[in-house]
Structure 1
Amino acid sequence: MDNESLLVKVRQMEHQFITHWINALSNESPGDANKEELFNRGQAYFRYITELHIPFDNHPVVLKAVDWARTVEKDEGTVKWIISFSHLWRNSLLEVGGDILSLGLFKQISARIDHFEIMMCHACWEKTVLWMKEKDCEFDRLHEDRINLIGKMASSMAHEIRNPLTSIIGFLKLVRLGIHQQTFEKVDSYLDIIEHECDNILKQVTGFLSFSKRPMIEEGLVYVSARQILDTNISLLSPRLIDENVDLLLAVPEQVKLRVQKSAIQQVLSNLLNNGIDALSALKSNKKMCISCSEDSGYIYIRVSNNGPSIPAEMAQRLFTPFVTNKEHGTGLGLAICKQIMAKNNGEISFTSDDSETAFLLTFPKKRKVTESGVQVVS
């Protein structure tokens, strides 16, 4: 019997071949797909391998399958599935049609199975190569972003530390001059300022490290006068306030106390005050800054305002985001660190800005105690 006649008999057994293939596939990959879907796939593939009069590359099953292989999103096991698919079809041909298949016809059908397998694997390989190239580009972008981030952090660190170091160097010169001139009464005050600036450097380093995965040991919470914190900051900023001709109004009662990380909150206020002075540099005269403190039943508020230019609308939405700044030599980390510090102190920082005033508001919750009767008391 010639191959054409044998091929007719094979086609007549289509259902038996497909059923055998489905059972084998179900045993190898339980739950792969429902039987109806598998039968439709098997029927399409069976027609491909038995319609020998249609060239390999022109058969609609091949074109559709290759297109699928190129567009599939998750193809980690696709190649393995393709090889298993081919093996199970050859096995079904031998098991079901072993008595009617001639060697020549089996070779022809097997060649179509091989061609399908090669085409599918090649399509998957192309997809994998493209995916790898895209990942390489993505890794390159991430690496470049990381290098840029390190550069910004280094620049920011240098900028934040340079100012207190400059102050330290200046006061060390005054100390040396005071020693030579026997004016020891001022040396002690100079040393206090030098010590404070060293603490300021430590705070800056702590702030930077707070963005890393290995933060420094957290500063403990203590009760401290809000006026005391502000007096310390203002004493250090006095030379700059005088040089910039800034009129500072301080309205902070002595009795208001905060339970906070003292050095960290000093850093927040120092940043807000320096930012305010920077903003006022745009004015030629009538430079005003105000620091006020108020409280209600649940919170204590410290408000730092200035009459400088308003914050641009495009910056306002991202003001507390790292590296967002409109200063020529700014780093964009100051307010981001302030927000993080306030969060660690269970507080909040917010702002308002218009043409007449820009104001930052620090909100600190009062400590609450529960009495024996279950009543909450603010302390």
Structure 2
Amino acid sequence: MMSAVKPLTLTRTFLFWLVLFCPVAAWIGWQDYADRYERFFQDTSIVQRMLSQKTVQHEAVLETLAALSHAPIPERLLPSLQASMPQLLGLGHLRDGGWAGSTALPPALPAALEEARQAGHPVTLPLDEACYWLVAPSGWSLLLDARQLLPATDFPPSLALLTLDLGKGALTLLARQPAAGAPGWALDVRKPLGAVSQPFALHSWRTLTPADWPWLEWLAWVVASGLLVAGAAAWQRSRAEARRRQEEVRLAAMARLNTLGEMAAGLAHELNQPLTAILAQVRAAERLLDDEEERPAVRQALLASAGQARRAADIISRMRELVTPSSPSSRTLVDPDALMASLLFLREDELARRGIRLAWRNTNPGVRPLGDRVALEQILHNLVQNAADALVGTPASRTIVVTGGVEGRDYVFSVSDNGPGIPAEALPRLFEPFYSTRPQGMGLGLALCETLAGAMDGRITASNLEPRGARFTLSLPLAGADA
């Protein structure tokens, strides 16, 4: 038995696309985030190295000044240094308590000098969040403005927010984004500067807002995944259509064979009676001719006719034996839902194109009647086809409803339609062979259904519905019920 495969519905196709799209889209987003973070980290490291070079340059200037045998006057030296060091605001030298500088002596500078001599390297004396003194053990000191360490044009475009903490609060070096947190993915790096004397904390962060997200890559994946799902859906529809055609061919072949068997049985029934009558009349004629002069010749002819009639009766009898089941059909537990799924798969789309809605309701899911699945398929197929033919010309909403459920010790299938119903004079003869209410009907479909039902110890009946429509019911024994 070929399993019924329904094509993907619009909802199932969308869910399939969603399951395919979401993991890859998440991977694309993660890869984009990882790439941006790597670039952001590298650019932050570049800024950290440039700032570290500036601070190391400060140490080099102090070492050079300390190495001079004759100390220059700070006021004269300052302009020449500022040409290459715009961050330099002041310069001074403290020796033996005497201060020589371009600015007044800072109150805390003597203590900072003592700290530098104990540490063996320059130390910082912050004045505010932007300016600080760099004090060397030699007594030379530089007044520096951290805001002038790097021009804004030197910062890489991937950076948005940069601060440098000198010890008096964070100094903003770059602000290309609002500092307040915005919705999105956060990038954050903290690194100290590389100078031993000025290990200021550098903080770099930015938020990847929706404008930074990989919309182009996502759009490309939307198109690609949509094409993949559309191709898969088209392939499945083609496969389902091929299976539907194979199943229809199989059912049509079964219908032809069963119809042929039913026709042969009907012909055998109809022809057996006249042949029996012929045989009886020939024998009567044989008795009446006992006294006639030509009785030998007549008797011989009549005997030959009787022999031929008997031979025809034997042939028809053998043909009837061939098409009449000699034993009850093999019965198993049948799943009504699976049976109807196959029928819906075969007929639902075709009937929908004709404006007919086919529906199935099972009031007792899980209950299994005893029957022959192939015979049941044939019966329900015929009943649905008859209902569809009866709905031709019905102007109102055309519906065929198949229901299943337990009634007493039987499982009952019911096929109902909202057509014109069955004429009262036709109801008693519906299941007679060769009787049909349709001009083109052969009158064998319902007779075949009754034969198949009887072979499964079932029964089939027909009735009209109020205010309109007809209903056919097929009753089958349940497992454990007496046959």
TM-score norm. by structure 1 comes to: 0.46
Rg comparison, structure with higher value = 2
Which structure's residues are more often helix, by fraction?
1
Which structure's residues are more often strand, by fraction?
2
